[in-house]
Every structure is written in C-alpha cells, then in structure tokens.
Amino acid sequence: MATTTLLGWYEQMAVIRGTEKAAHDLFMRGLVKGTTHLAAGHEAVAVGAGAALRPDDYVFATYRGHHHAIARGATPEGCLAELMQKSTGVCRAKGGSMHLTQADHGMLGSYAIVGAHLPMANGAAWSAMLRGTTQVAVAFFGDGATNIGAFHEALNLAAVWKLPVIFVCENNRYMEYTPIDAVTAVPNPAADRAAANGMPGVLVDGNDVVAVHDAMLEAVERARSGGGPTVLEALTYRHFGHSRTDPATYRPQEEVDEWLARDPLIVARRTLLELRVSEEEVDAVDQRAKDIVAAASAAAQAAPAADPDDAFTDVWADGGAAWRT
C-alpha cells in the first residue's frame, strides 16, 4: 500500500467526518430542517469501497448516505447546501439529507425505503451486462435490510442471472434501536446468507479502509469478469444515534467505548504511522480537511435559497399510461 494512496483515503475520510459534524452543528442551529441520519464511524466503508470502483460504476445508498455521496465525488458544499434547502445543493433542495443523488458521478440515489434499492441495483447491473460495458452496480445497505424481503429477492435474482452487482452491508449492529442479533438467526446477517444464494459471502472489518478496499476490489474484479455477485458485510459502528432524534441510550457504554477506540480515522492514522508517515504530515491532512469543511459550510450557508418554482422542473409525466405501450 503506497503511503500517498492511504493519505488520500485518510483525507477523504476526515473530510466526510468533518462534513457530518458540520451537518450536526447546522441542524442544532436550526439551519437544517427535517431529520438527518449521520454516518460518522462508517467512513472507511464508503471510501474503501469507492476506491475500488470506476467512475462509471453505479452506486445506490440508503438514507444514511452522506459518506457515499462524498466518496463518489459530491462536494461537501453541495451536500450541506442540499441539507439547508439551498439552490446550490446537489439536488437543488429536492432531495434533502435522505435522498442525496448525483447521477453524473454514478451516485444513483439514496433511498429511504429500507431495502428498496437492492433490486434497483440489479436493474443497473443487468443494463450494464446487456450493453457489455463491464460496469458494476453496488448497493450499500444497513443490517436491518437483511430481514427485508427485497434483500432475499435481490440476492436470488442476482445469482440466477449472474449479475455484476455487489451487495455491501454496513453492519453497525443496530436496526434503528434494536440489536440485529436479537432478531436474526445467524451471527452475520448478510454474509451468512450468501451461500444459500450461491454466491460468496465476505466478512470484513468495516473500520479498516485498507481491508474494505481489498475485499471490495476482489468482489469488483469477480463481477467484471463475469463471475457474478458478492455479498460483502462490513462490521462498523455509528457514532451517533439512528437519527438526530435518537440519543442512543440503549447502547451499553462499554460497547460504545470499545467501538470508538476503533474509529476508522484512528485505525488509518495508526497504519500511516506504522508506514513511517510523520505525525506532522498526518496533522497537516487533518488541518486541510478542517479547512475544506469550514469553507464548504460557509459557502453553503451563504448560498441563495432554492426557488420554489424549481420544484416543477426535472419532473416527467405525460398525463397517462401511454408510455407503457
């Protein structure tokens, strides 16, 4: 692993972490309306997996998708502006926190309906297969989605058609407020179910960006070469509650402390130091990330509000069902 590569991933994770903190702070100031689902603690999954993809690959995410949007090229300013209903937001204020989308970067949406996007990723993968482009589709989802019917249906179809799709479960141990192991018969809710659908199930440390990248790269190469789908389960932990209304008091403090000590940024920093990157160089990256986020937050707050008339643009309808025939 080249140190410059890992430094780049570290900076990307630091920018994502800073953007999440900025979103939290703006929410607490009343500048972000509605709820937000922060992904602080999940950065290594988005950055490690994203680094294994091509720019023209497809990504589908959940409502907890800020980190995936930025890892695919959305700017912190565009994301924060979207959360504040500004005209410069990535969706011009039409999506908000739960629906960040940037199709020109292959980010084909964040979805609030749990598990709904897994079959959609199959569709994108099928399209790529039909067109012979060697593109892959990736569906990121939480552990709670593994008990949704669409999860099992999507895996079955992907295996039957041998689709170039990777199913990435971000297992943060809790499906909203309920521990996943309290309602699931197998220890690893995604990886342990892959074999029943005739595909590899891979378990990886979701807080280690290098481990995520390496596992994802293998799955991507398998998909591109016609080897079919893979289930990748990344073990991670969210630093905040499920949403901004959740204080997460249901989690044992010793568990929280254990996972915070395994923070993806701490893990990556330790690896960099082991590779003989100096403390000063890593600190400089941290400062650069803080500056990027501070500038993005200021620009997003200063941006003009979205024009209500824009709500009627980018909408297609013909008044009937004629398009079906």
Domain ranges of the chain: 3-324
First-last CA distance in the chain? 53
pLDDT in the model for residue 321: 59
Q: What is the CATH class of 3-324?
A: alpha beta
Residues designated as active site: 238, 242, 250
Residue 267 φ then ψ, to 5°? -60, -45
| pLDDT at 318 (0 to 100) | 60
DSSP 306: P
Percent helix, strand and coil across the chain, each rounded to 5?
50, 15, 35
Q: Helices marked H in 85-228 — which ranges?
A: 117-131, 149-161, 209-224
Residue 314's pLDDT is: 78
Q: What is the pLDDT of residue 243?
A: 87
* pLDDT tens digits for range 86-132: 999 999 998 888 999 988 999 999 999 999 999 999 999 999 999 99
**Burial bucket for residue 35 (CB in 10 Å: 0-12, 13-18, 19+):** middle
Which of 53, 36, 40 has the alpha carbon at shortest distance from 13? 40
Separation of alpha carbons 172 and 143, rounded Å:
7
Show the low-confidence residues of the chain (pLDDT under 70).
1, 316-325
Contact 53, 138 (CB under 8 A): yes
Whole-number Cα distances in Å, 202 to 35, 68, 154, 199: 33, 20, 17, 10
Residue 229 φ then ψ, to 5° = -80, 165
Whole-number Å distance between alpha carbons of 209 and 263:
11
Label residues 290-315 b or e (16+ Cβ within 10 Å = b).
Answer: eebbeebbebbbebeebeeeeeeeee
